Each structure stands twice: as structure tokens, then as C-alpha cells.
Chains A and B, each alone.
Chain A
């Protein structure tokens, strides 16, 4: 499984966004696309608006739920009915998408590590491009 992101080049955080509530920040900050594919499926988006900080925080939440023993978890995209479904089968997680065919299978430990690497890369890029974001508590949470 390959998990990555593409941050929109033209996005610049306005100062007021940093003072907005958490929900508004999550739905607006760092739009772009997710890159998510495996040997038998490609769930990457080409939409340009997927809020990437929110995506990473949501994946953290999903991985934690699966690690606690929950069998299923869903990721709801913020601006459409599209979803990613996560089904735990033993030590594996099976991913499906409402907007693309196929299935991606990955060990839960690999999903966990991929999400953490993704979070680290996103934080590094965001803070490098927009230093003011480094003080935001949700950006600080990206590890």
C-alpha cells in the first residue's frame, strides 16, 4: 500500500483561519489530494479540496479504533458522500472506497506506520511553507 498526499500549490492560510474553531480549521486547512493505492486498487483523489490535516487526524482516529479491536471504521470525506471503509480481518485491514472499485489489503501495523510517516511529512511541509501554522495546536498534533 502506498499512502501519500499532494498539497494544493495555491493554498495560503489567511490569518483569520488560525483563530477559527477546530471544525472550521479541519474543513478548510491544507486542501489537496490523497494518494492511496495498492496492487489491485487506486483510491487516490483528483479533487484538489481534500483537507489534508483533517485527513491525517481522521486516519489517526481510525487506526486507533482498529488497534483497540473495533472491526470496522469509515472515513467520510468532508464535501461529498464519498467514503473510505476500513475492515479489520485479524492483523490485516481491508480498504474499500465508495468512489472507486477494488480493495487494498495491508497489515494494521503498516497502516499505522504509513499514517505516522504521512503526518510527519505533512507537518514538515506545512510549517516550512507557512511558519505561522506551526503554532496551531492541530498542526502540533501531527506526529
Chain B
């Protein structure tokens, strides 16, 4: 009887993990790039942005291309909890080719996307 009980507990835990995984996958498909987020990204990371100390996208980037890169990073990138008490998730994806420049001026191949718990993109920059 006790054995059955523990088997049931283990089965429920495993199914919980699977359900959690499914939730993450669903979350990944629904990030929202708002006009505010686009402005935020353009002001800091667009090729012609004067903001120093922030990664820059390569010349020729468009909002549509940005949206596609974010989608790709969120769908395929490494996910981790945001840091320093900030709510949300961080997704990092290596495109394997230069997508911009790092703050030291070197080529950036990776994209970091910050997503809020409401599934809104908050920041996205090459590094």
C-alpha cells in the first residue's frame, strides 16, 4: 500500500514537471514586442543610437528583423530567471554570426532578451 502511494507521488511529480515544461514552451511562443519596448531598444541599441556602453545592432536592422530575432531567441535560446530581484525571464541565443557589436566594439553573435512576467519584451540587445 505504502509502495503504491509513493509510486503515485512520483508519478504526480513527473507529470507536474512535464506540465511545467509545456507552460514554458507556451510562454516562449507568446512574447509581446510593444511600441514602448521598440522605442526602448531603438534608443539604446539601434545602429545610430548615441547611447554609449550598450550593445548595438548591425546596420540595416529593421523592426521586423528585430521581431524575428527575438522570436528565434525566445524559442531556441537558453532561458534563465532574471537577476537581482528583477521579475521575469532572460533568454540568450547565439546566432553563430555577427548580429551587432558588443560594448568593447567587438562583434556580437548573441542576443539577450528580457521578458516580463506578463510576457512583454522589456529589453533585447546584442552581446
Decide if A and B are genuine partners.
Answer: yes
- Which has the most chain B C-beta neighbours within 10 Å: A26, A57, A60, A61? A26
Interface stretch among B21-29, B58-66, B78-86?
Answer: B78-86
CB–CB B87/A82 < 8 A: no
CB–CB B117/A80 < 8 A: no
Q: Separation in Å of the B15 CB from the closest CB of chain A?
A: 30
Main secondary structure of the interface of B (DSSP, over half): loop
Interface members, chain A 33-74 (any B CB < 8 Å): 45-49, 54, 57-58, 60-62, 74
Please, which residue of chain B has its CB at the minimum distance from the CB of A47?
B53
CB–CB B84/A58 < 8 A: yes
Please, which residue of chain B has its CB at the minimum distance from the CB of A22?
B87
CB–CB B114/A48 < 8 A: no
CB–CB A21/B86 < 8 A: no
A28 to B36, CA, bound (A): 10
CB–CB B84/A24 < 8 A: no
CB–CB B51/A47 < 8 A: yes
CB–CB A62/B53 < 8 A: no
CB–CB B84/A75 < 8 A: yes
The reply to whether the CB of A137 lies closer than 8 angstroms to some CB of chain B is no
CB–CB A21/B54 < 8 A: no
Q: Which residues of B contact A (CB under 8 A)?
A: 36-37, 40, 43-45, 51-55, 82-88, 102-103, 112, 114, 116-118, 120, 122-123, 125, 127
| 5 A-B contact pairs sorted by A residue (CB < 8 Å) | A21-B117, A21-B120, A23-B86, A61-B84, A76-B84
